[in-house]
Amino acid sequence: MSLAEALKNGKLVVTAEIAPPKGVNVQEMLENAELIKGKVDAANVTDQQSSVMRLGSLAGCHLLKQKGLEPVFQVTCRDRNRLALQSDLLSAYSLGITNVLCITGDYVSLGDHPSAKPVFDLDSVSLLQAAKALEQGKDLAGKELKGSPKFFLGAVVSPGAEPLEPQIIKMEKKVRAGAQFFQTQGVYEPAKFEKFIRASQYLGVPILAGIIPLRSVAMARFMNRAVAGVHVPEEMIQELDRATDKPAKSIEIAARLIREVRQLCQGVHIMAIGWEKRVPAILEAAGLA
Amino acid sequence: MIVSELKPLPATLDYLDGEQNIFILGCRGCAEASKTGGEAQVLEMKQVLEGAGKRVVGHTVADFLCDKALVKMKLYAHEQEVLAADSLLVMTCGLGVQATAAVVDRPVHPATNTINLGGSRGEWRGSERCLECGDCLLDYTGGICPLTACTKSLINGPCGGARDGRCEFEPDVRPCGWQLIYERLKKTGRLDEMKTLLPPKDYAKMQPPPSLRSTILWALEQKEPREAGLPR
C-alpha cells in the first residue's frame, strides 16, 4: 500500500528516516532498509541533512525502491536552483518515486562545507508550487511538458517553535501550495504538541509526529542547545541519566512518546539519526510492530 | 545613486485597498533624481490618489529617507497628519521604505521598485539593506526586506531554523528576519499579509536594465576604443 493510501485508509502510519552514506558504500543503508521493511509504510531518504555532503536522496530512494521499500524523496532548496529542482522531480517520477518532501534546508554554515554558495532560489512553499505546476503539465517558466508527473507532496513543520503562529501561517501556505501531509520536527512534550495539533487542525491535513530517539544525555543537551524548535524536558534527560541500561531506557522513552502522541495525529515519523538499527525495537516497544 | 522606478499604478492602488487616508512621503535624494519621489512626483501621486477616491491627509519630502533620524525629524513636523493616516505611501528606494517602517507605527507601502545602484554606492548607516531586486516586496512584509533580513532570502515565511528569534546562520549577530516581519505585521494589524502566497521570485529583474548600462562611461569604455580602432 502506498503512503497516500495508508493515510487515506486512516491507518496509523509509520515512516522512518534513512541517511545515505558519505561515500558510495551503500551496504549499511540497505541493511537498515531491510530491517524496517514491512514495519514502516515509507522511508524518507534525507537530502544532505544538516548541510553535510552525502550520497544523494534521489539515488537513495531508487535503491530503497529496488529493495521493495516505499521511499519519500526529501528535497531541499539549499543546493539547487529551480532548473535542477524541477529536473530532479521529473527524474524521481521517471524512477517511480512519487512521495516528495519539500524542505527549505539548513543554512550551509551548519554543515561540512561552510564555504559553499547557498542557493535558496525557491523556498519550501514555491518548491511545492513547482511540483504542482509540473503535475499540471507545465514548468515554472510556463513551458509545456512532454508527459506530466503525479506526486504525493509533503512538507515539514516545527510544532515546538515559539512563537508558533508564524509556523502555522507558513504551514497554511504550504497546504495552499499543495502539501498533502506533514512530518514534524522531533516531539518531546506531548502537551505542547497537542496545542499545535489544535491550532493546525483547521487545515485538515495528516500530520506525522517526529520522534527522535535520545541516544544519550549529551545528545539531548546538544539538541536543546543547538536544534531549533526541539526541547527535551530536564526530567526526561534525568530519567535517561539515571538508567543503568541507557539504550533500553532510550527505546522505552521513544515508545512512550509514540503512545502519547499517536492519539493526536495520523502517524509517527522516526528520525533515528545513526540509530536506524534500533527502529524495529522502538516500534515493537510502542506496540506498532 | 539608487535608481528606482514607480510601480505600476494598479499595484500601488492594490496595496492601498481598504485604506482611505494616506500620507505620501517622498525623498529629495536618489528618488528625486530617479523622478520617482521628488516634490513633483509626490504632488502628481497626490492627484492620482485623490482621483482614485483616496484622501491624502498630508505629504512631505524628506532630504534622505535612508537616514532614520532624518525621517523621524521630518515626520515629527507632520505628526498629526501621520496619526490621521491609515498608512504611508513611501516614494523612494527599498532603504527609504524600510527606514520609514522602522520609525512609524503605521503600515508603509512601497511606491517603487528599486532596480539598481546605477554603478555608484552612497553611504548610509542602518540595518536596512536593499538588494535592488527590481520587484519590491516590502508591502507584504511590514516594511522589512525578506531578501536582506532573512539569511536564506525566503519570501514566504520563516524556515524552521530560528531559535529564540535568532537566525541559525549567525545567532549572535542576526535576528530571524521573519520573526521581525511577523512582529511588525502583528503590531500594525496586518498579519494577514503574511498569508500572501508569493510566486518564485523573478531574479532576472535584478540585472541592471540596459538603460542604466549605457552611461557615457560605459560607452567610452566599450565603444570608443573599437570605433577608434584601438586595441581593447
Considering Cα of A99, then A172, then A225, then A103, what sign does the dihedral take? positive
Distance from the first to the final alpha carbon of chain B = 28
Beta carbons of B199 and A129 less than 8 Å apart: yes
- What distance in Å separates the CA atoms of residue A233 and residue A112, rounded to the nearest whole number? 29
Residue pLDDT, tens place only, B151-181? 999 999 999 999 999 999 999 999 999 999 9
Distance CA B149, CA A82 (A): 22
User: In A, which residues are within 8 Å of B199 by CB distance?
Assistant: 126, 129
CA proximity to A185, closest of A258, A279, A282, A271: A271
E strands in chain B: 3-6, 21-27, 55-62, 87-91, 108-110, 112-116
- CB of B23 closer than 8 Å to CB of B89: yes
Cα nearest neighbour of A122 on chain B: B200
Q: Residue A24 has what pLDDT? A: 98
The residue behind cell 508558533 is A164
Closest CB from A163, A172, A228 relative to B163: A228
Contact B158 A167 (CB under 8 A): yes
d(CA B79, CA B73): 10
Distance, in Å, from the CA atom of A47 to the CA atom of A58, rounded to the nearest integer, reads 8
Among A170, A202, A231, pick the best mutation site for testing chain B contact (most B Cβ within 10 A). A170
Cell digits of residue A34: 531491510
Can you tell me which residue has the cell 562545507? A113
CA atoms within 13 A on the CB side of A163: 12
pLDDT digits over B55-110, tens only?
999 999 999 998 889 999 999 999 999 999 999 999 999 999 999 999 999 999 99
* Beta-carbon separation of B160 and A118 below 8 A: no
Contact B194 A169 (CB under 8 A): yes
CA distance A187 to chain B (A): 14
Which pLDDT score is estimated for A197? 98
Give the ipTM: 0.91
CB-CB under 8 Å, A130 with B195:
no
Q: What residue of A is the nearest CA neighbor of B154?
A: A123
Angle (nearest 5°) at CA B12 between B10 and B15: 110
Please name the residue of chain B whose CA is at the shortest distance from the CA of residue A230: B163
Give contacts of B158 with chain A, Cβ < 8 Å: 166-167, 170
In this prediction the pTM is 0.90
Do the Cβ atoms of A41 and A15 come closer than 8 Å?
yes
Identify all chain B residues contacting A167, using CB atoms and an 8 Å cutoff: 158, 160
Residues B194, A231: Cα–Cα separation, whole Å: 27
The residues on A that touch B, with CB distances below 8 Å, are 78, 82, 104-107, 109-110, 118, 120-126, 129-130, 140, 156-158, 161-163, 165-167, 169-170, 172-173, 176-177, 185, 228-229
Q: Given B154, B157, B168, which is nearest A120 (Cβ)?
A: B154
**Structure-block grid coordinates of residue A182:** 506533514
Q: What is the DSSP letter of B208?
A: P
Which amino acid, one-letter code, is at A42?
A
Residue A157's SS3 state is strand
Blockwise average pLDDT, block size 10, chain A, 289 residues: 94 96 97 95 97 98 97 98 98 98 96 96 98 98 98 97 95 98 97 97 98 96 91 97 95 97 97 92 93
DSSP B18: T
Cell numbers standing for residue A36 = 524496517
